[in-house]
A = this chain, B = another copy of it.
Amino acid sequence: MSYKIITISRQFGSGGRTIGKKLAEQLNIKCYDKEIIDQVAEQSGFDKTYISEKGEDVKGGIFGTMMNRWSYNGPTNEERIWQIQSSIIKDIAEKESCVIVGRCADYLLADREDVLKVFIHADEDYRADRIVRLYGETDVDPKRRLKDKDKHRAAYYQIYTDLTYGDARNYHICLNSGAIGEDNCVAILRNIVQHVNN
């Protein structure tokens, strides 16, 4: 069997999303990223910005989020977004060969044998330069922005999957995009999808 679905988890600023898009283009399959937010918005009625904030990061109140996952008063908004998002990702994987960026797709699709699980990361300097180049300067120092985002994303992953964020053993391949190069990462992944039988 060959790999049909590629999940790309990524550190903020590492270029994982760009790698996912280029890979999907080269394989002539769809890349799901913001499209998932659109679908969650449609099914839940929540605002897209709200979903985008709640569907991959935990800001502040990490302990509170853990305690609230299933409160006695029924699921919280975060929990409802997680449930809808999870079901959408599973449906997409059932339907077509594709790349799925972020949103714990590696964990959600762990039972499937046709999923190649990828993690893209890079050193702080590389990511700081990249986010300033792509998203511009803000009042907050770029390294502070990275640290905050890393913390929020790791918290989300750990709370919802019960796995350690960034642990190589959760993935089939992890690449430092700064060291290996964005296009080389794409080529390595394309080669695996096209030539490796799992």
On chain B, the residues within 8 Å of A11 by CB distance are 169
Query: Are B166 and A173 closer than 8 Å at their CB atoms?
Result: no
A181 interfacial contact with B, CB 8 Å:
yes
B168 touches A171 (CB 8 A): yes
Chain B's closest residue to A11 (CB) is B169
Interface residues of A in 152-193 (CB under 8 A from B): 166-169, 171-176, 179-181, 184, 188, 191-192
Contact A179 B175 (CB under 8 A): no
Give the interface of A toward B (CB within 8 A): 11, 116, 119, 121, 166-169, 171-176, 179-181, 184, 188, 191-192, 195-196, 198
Complex A-B: 30 CB contacts under 8 Å: A11-B169, A116-B179, A119-B168, A119-B174, A121-B168, A121-B169, A166-B167, A166-B168, A166-B169, A167-B167, A167-B168, A168-B168, A168-B171, A168-B174, A169-B176, A171-B174, A171-B176, A172-B175, A172-B176, A172-B179, A173-B173, A173-B174, A173-B176, A173-B180, A174-B174, A180-B196, A181-B196, A184-B192, A184-B195, A188-B188
